[in-house]
Amino acid sequence: MDLTPRSAPEPRSTSRRLLPILVAVLATVAGLVIVVMFLTSSIDYYCNVDEVGVRDGCDDTRRVRVQGSVDEGSLQMRAGNTSFVMSFNGVSLPVDYEGEPGGVFQECIPVVAHGRIVDGVLMATRIEVKHSNEYEAENADRLEEAEKSACS
Amino acid sequence: MKTGTTTTRVLGIFALLITTWVVVSAFFLTPADVVQGDSVRIMYAHVPTAWIAYLAFVTTAVASGLSLVRKHRTLGFDRVAGASAEVGVLFMAMTLITGSLWGRLTWGTFWQWDPRLTTTLFLFVTYVGYLAIRRVDVDPVRRARRSSVIALLAVLEIPLVHFSVVLWRSLHQEASVLNTDGDVRLDDLMLFTLFSGVVAFTLIFVWLVVHRQRLAAMSDVERLVGLDVAITARRAESTVGGGGI
């Protein structure tokens, strides 16, 4: 006995068939772009201040991303310009930034500055704050403790 | 047909209650952070969604493995794998969105191609691709086999994402709870609220996966019933026409 259904099941419309294939192709392309970005940007996201001009890939002759802590008392903000000194492992680097850094930027906090070094000053075009993984309640005692210990 | 049962209803109510507690605690009871201020409250959504996304993708991998091994339950396990991946992608999207907002408030930027952010985005895109591949194949058994292999490979990305902040220099901070030295760097109520968030999101995850896989099962049954109807119709025709085997 022939039990084959007389009418074949309705085929899925072309758009319904193509959509998942299109999404899969887009995901593959996006994946490749992400891998390229990872290889060119993510590995060793920054150089520490003491590595500039010393470590391979941290040449001071090209655009760099430098990480260090903002020195206490070095921060100056005037006429939309921000300047400060950042340090790491006892080595310091003056930074000049056209604008006001966002986030929780303040003295004694680690930052990553992007830019070029001109005459020993990092002319930054972007400042990112690199906060710690410690979370403490904001109250008077802790604020005092944090301020005291932040730059120690 | 419904996807809900008494168990799922109880589960849903518990999820709702704990989520309500998390929202109240996160916004009104937990203190602001000494450095980040109120922006730290995003953590109570960001961290649990990331952990639950990991859990979802591991569940997908386990169900996929079982789908390959237990041949007589292949489709059942595959439905769980697919449902879990869908919910995982949803949670991962929430992780990326909340993380981006938190980044803007603390780092000063929505996005940077740093190791943690880049690997997380890669994980998200991988599972979007996985879900797309699942919809390419019409044959459920072939779909189950193909997507199981992808799921078992994709889950290997999770350790890479989690340890990216240790393996490479990252703008993203290291883990405060599941870190390599075992220290917990959170205030007590902050930690309790974060833990409550994990419990709430886990219940929501289970609730969503149960309902989604039951919907998928109904869809499969509907297809089979359609085939049964066609066969019955042909049998009836042959009987009426006096035909035999």
pLDDT digits 0-9 by tens, A75-85: 999 888 999 99
Contact residues for A16 (Cβ-Cβ < 8 A; gap 6+)? none
A2 CB neighbours in chain B (<8 A) are 234
A102 CB neighbours in chain B (<8 A) are 104, 107-109
Residue of B118, B193, B219 to mutate for A, most A C-beta atoms under 10 A:
B118
Question: B151 vs B176, which has greater pLDDT?
Answer: B151
Q: Is the pLDDT of residue B150 over 60?
A: yes
- The answer to whether B83 and B212 have CB atoms below 8 angstroms apart is yes
Fold classification of A47-136+143-150 (topology level): OB fold (Dihydrolipoamide Acetyltransferase, E2P) (2.40.50)
Asked if B113's CB is within 8 angstroms of A38's CB, the reply is yes
Q: Is the pLDDT of residue B182 over 70?
A: no
CA-angle at B45, arms to B40 and B51, nearest 5°: 115
Asked if A5's CB is within 8 angstroms of B230's CB, the reply is yes
Mean pLDDT, chain B, as a whole number? 89
Q: Is the pLDDT of residue B148 over 80?
A: yes
Confidence grade of residue A139 (pLDDT, cut at 50, 70, 90):
low
User: Stretch B6-31: mean pLDDT, rounded?
Assistant: 94
| Spatial distance between the Cα atoms of B195 and B48, rounded to a whole number of angstroms | 8
| Burial letters B90-126, b for 16+ CB under 10 A, else e | bbbebbbebbeebbebbbbbeebbbbbbbbbbbbbbb
Q: What is the pLDDT of residues A61-78, one digit of tens each?
A: 888 999 999 999 999 998
Mean pLDDT, chain A, as a whole number? 84
| Spatial distance between the Cα atoms of B49 and B232, rounded to a whole number of angstroms | 48
B227 CB neighbours in chain A (<8 A) are 5
Q: Determine the pLDDT at residue A137.
A: 82
| Spatial distance between the Cα atoms of A81 and A124, rounded to a whole number of angstroms | 11
What are the residue ranges of helices labelled H in chain A?
14-37, 140-150
* Beta strand A81-88 pairing with A91-98: antiparallel
Distance from CA of B76 to the nearest CA of A (A): 22
Q: Determine the pLDDT at residue B54.
A: 97
Q: Could you tell me if B152 lies within 8 Å of chain A, comparing CB atoms? A: no
A134 CB neighbours in chain B (<8 A) are 176, 185-186
A11 CB neighbours in chain B (<8 A) are none
Q: Compute φ and ψ for A100, nearest 5 degrees.
A: -110, 120
* Beta strand A47-48 pairing with A64-70: parallel
pTM for the model: 0.85
Q: Which of residues 76-95 of B touch A (CB under 8 A)?
A: none
Q: Is residue B1, in this structure, part of any structural domain at all?
A: no
Number of residues that this document lists for chain A: 152
Q: Is residue B3, in this structure, part of any structural domain at all?
A: no
B32 CB neighbours in chain A (<8 A) are 137-138
Residue of B114, B120, B137, B193 to mutate for A, most A C-beta atoms under 10 A:
B114
Q: Compute φ and ψ for A125, nearest 5 degrees.
A: -110, -10
Q: Is residue B151, in this structure, part of any structural domain at all?
A: yes
Q: Determine the pLDDT at residue B15.
A: 95
Asked if A138's CB is within 8 angstroms of B136's CB, the reply is no
| Spatial distance between the Cα atoms of B205 and B88, rounded to a whole number of angstroms | 8
Number of residues that this document lists for chain B: 245
| Domain encompassing residue B101 | 18-240
| Spatial distance between the Cα atoms of B127 and A24, rounded to a whole number of angstroms | 10
How do the domains of chain A map onto residue ranges?
Answer: 15-44, 47-136+143-150
Q: Could you tell me if B166 lies within 8 Å of chain A, comparing CB atoms? A: no
Q: How many domains is chain B partitioned into structurally?
A: 1
| Spatial distance between the Cα atoms of B150 and B158, rounded to a whole number of angstroms | 14
What CA dihedral angle connects B194, B198, B201 and B206, to 10 degrees? -170
Give the HSE-up count for residue A14: Cα atoms under 13 Å, Cβ half-sphere.
Answer: 0
DSSP, res B33: B
